[in-house]
Amino acid sequence: MMDWFTRWAVWLSLALTIALGVADYATGLEITFFVFTQVFPIGLAVWFGGRLHGALLAALATALGTAAYVHGHAFGAETVANVIGTFGTLLIIVWTLGLLRDQVERERRARRIAIEQLRHAERLNVIGALAAGVAHELGTPLNVISGTAEMLEGDAQHRPPLDRLAHVILAQTEKINAIVRHLLDFGRRGGASKTLVDLNQVAASTVELLASAARRANVTITLDAAIAPIRTQANGAEIEQVLSNLVLNGIQAMPRGGGLRVTTRATNGLACVTVEDEGIGIAKADLERIFDPFFTTKGIGQGTGLGLSVSHGIVADHGGAIDVRSEVGHGTTFAVMLPITS
């Protein structure tokens, strides 16, 4: 079984040979000779882009074409000039193409190295941010635990009641547990089972879940769902986590209350859920960092700085993307795009 390329090549060569033969016969000119000694070698040289075997193939084609000509004609000075001219042209073409190819290859390699370095730096950056975040978050509770343990070790007369000390230790370990859970969430990629879910339902249950939190913050949530169900292969709980995260961020961005709009739409094979707030907005400088782990503009204890980076990871896992547009003082719109399963 021939592949399509070979099949077409065979048919085309056959057609070309017949066409050239007919052309020679009809015009009385040596079109076949011209094609085989001039066009064909140059085409081959161009095709192989200045590689050595491209030049050899072209030379072979020239030699064959010339041999066919010499076989039928007298061996004249004109033929020699013709062959030398063809070889000269070929050499120049192959040489130039080779130089160009080298240049392109060099630039491509330089770019690959630069990108690799950037990626590496980015990875180090993320690891550095993670390490700093972990150190910051865990340092204090660990210190409180060790200090409390020292009190337990010390003079029984001068220490706070045991139940107070035990309570402090328990509270701090719970804090550490929460941080570790968040980190695991952050590190988890894939693995979660996906089923066919309706994004309208996921959005509705998210809005319902956060309605009371919104009321407390004086925020009105409106759900503008597409009429038809939007089916996508996804982990419902994870997508709900992403949406709640965006909605909660929106609520927190409106300290004096306001309106928050959740919209679901399906267009061009893409499902899109937007969460639009009328909040304080995100400064331009912060916009490119909001998906970085541990980046937060909220006060300590209010945000771990992991919410958006976890959301970003979840959506990427689903083959989707998160987009953000924001205007300081006017509000922010997050758009979650996911592929639709038809």
Residues in the site for another protein, rule: CB under 8 A? Answer: 132, 135-136, 138-144, 146-148, 150-151, 160, 168, 171-172, 299-302
Residue identified by tokens 């992403």 is: 242
Minimum distance, C-beta of residue 145 to another protein, in the bound complex (Å): 8
With respect to another protein, which residue has the nearer C-beta, 43 or 128?
Answer: 128
Nearest to 203 by CA among 336, 341, 319, 304: 336
Dihedral pair phi/psi, residue 242, rounded to 5°: -60, -50
- Cβ(42)–Cβ(89) below 8 Å: yes
Residues 6+ apart with CB under 8 A from 217: 251, 252, 254, 255, 257
Cβ proximity to another protein, 67 vs 300, nearer residue: 300
Minimum distance, C-beta of residue 298 to another protein, in the bound complex (Å): 8
Closest approach of another protein to the CB of residue 97, in Å: 52
Select 268 or 302, whichever has its Cβ closest to another protein. 302
Residue with smaller CB distance to another protein, 20 or 138: 138
Give min distance, CB of 154 to another protein, in A: 8
Residue given tokens 């690959």 in the structure block: 112
Q: What is the largest CA-CA distance in the chain?
A: 123
Q: How far is the CB of 315 from another protein (least distance, A)?
A: 29
Burial 116-132 (b: 16+ CB within 10 A, else e): eeeeeeeeeeeeebbee
Q: Which is nearer to another protein, 48 or 294 (CB)?
A: 294
